[in-house]
Amino acid sequence: MHATHPTTLEPIGHIESCYPDKFGIPRQPGLAPSAKAQLVLHAPYNDPLAVRGLDAFSHIWVTFLFHKSPPSWTPLVRPPRLGGNAKVGVFATRATHRPNRLGLSLVELVSINTEGGVALTLSGHDLVDGTPVFDIKPYLPWADGVEGARSGFAPAPPVIRPVCFSQTARTQLNALSDGAAVKALIVEVLAQDPRPAYQHGSTGRVHGVRLSDKDVRFRAFVDDTGRIALEVIDIASGGPT
């Protein structure tokens, strides 16, 4: 009988993210490069000595808890990539409902601030605000990247949708001092079509997604090339950040 090692993990820090909700977050890191977050380390892990030399690496692995997922799990799950119909083994997926609820994301390390503790600026993440982080490690392309690796039912990034803006939304963007950055994040997130997989073929219904302090309303339509595209109708400011 093998020994079991029940373990208690203590977060080394938490994420302050541009994603207040799970809805709308891209399914993997790197799909929305404009998505920024702060990883704020907690005492005693917020010792600047602990990150000495880390700024020489451009990317890091973040190990975290899917704290917004229930602790329960099932052996079979329905990946959105397969339309939410086909079932595959939980260990053959990156599903959020899994044993121990551990997540792993490769993100870009933008900068490190060691004044009054340690805060890392990250970009291209897929983490909801408040996510507890258990560990970080530098990314080693020669060790972590495998040329020609097979990736099963997810052989390539998701197909992206064209995104356009109504006149109202364009006017609202022009009024923002950070309008270009807000626009870039909206385009990258909506291009992933955050609607539930079973709605991907439908058009007309208005949906909303929160990005930082913005409430973004959008709808799907068929563009003049016959493709499903997403139109941003309205961008309201002032929600909780």
The nearer residue to ligand SAM, 13 or 103, going by C-beta atoms, is: 103
The nearer residue to ligand SAM, 61 or 170, going by C-beta atoms, is: 61
Residue type, 28: Q
Q: Is 121 in the site for ligand SAM (CB under 6 A)?
A: no
Beta carbons of 125 and 103 less than 8 angstroms apart: no
- Least distance from ligand SAM to the Cβ atom of residue 213, Å: 19
List helix spans (H) across the chain: 141-144, 167-174, 179-190
Q: Which of residues 62-81 bind ligand SAM (CB under 6 A)?
A: 66-69
Q: Is 36 in the site for ligand SAM (CB under 6 A)?
A: no
Structure tokens at 211: 């990005």
Structure tokens at 59: 């990317």
Q: Is 114 in the site for ligand SAM (CB under 6 A)?
A: no
Candidates 20, 60, 118, 131: give the one binding ligand SAM (CB under 6 A): 131
- How far is the C-alpha of 35 from the C-alpha of 127, rounded, in Å? 10
- How far is the C-alpha of 125 from the C-alpha of 106, rounded, in Å? 8
- Least distance from ligand SAM to the Cβ atom of residue 94, Å: 4
- How far is the C-alpha of 90 from the C-alpha of 132, rounded, in Å? 22
Q: Is 128 in the site for ligand SAM (CB under 6 A)?
A: yes
- How far is the C-alpha of 86 from the C-alpha of 38, rounded, in Å? 36
The nearer residue to ligand SAM, 120 or 127, going by C-beta atoms, is: 127
Candidates 9, 76, 86, 104: give the one binding ligand SAM (CB under 6 A): 104
Q: Is 59 in the site for ligand SAM (CB under 6 A)?
A: no
Q: How far is CA 94 from the centre of its chain?
A: 12
Candidates 60, 107, 126, 216: give the one binding ligand SAM (CB under 6 A): 126
The nearer residue to ligand SAM, 19 or 218, going by C-beta atoms, is: 19
Q: Is 108 in the site for ligand SAM (CB under 6 A)?
A: no
Residue type, 203: T
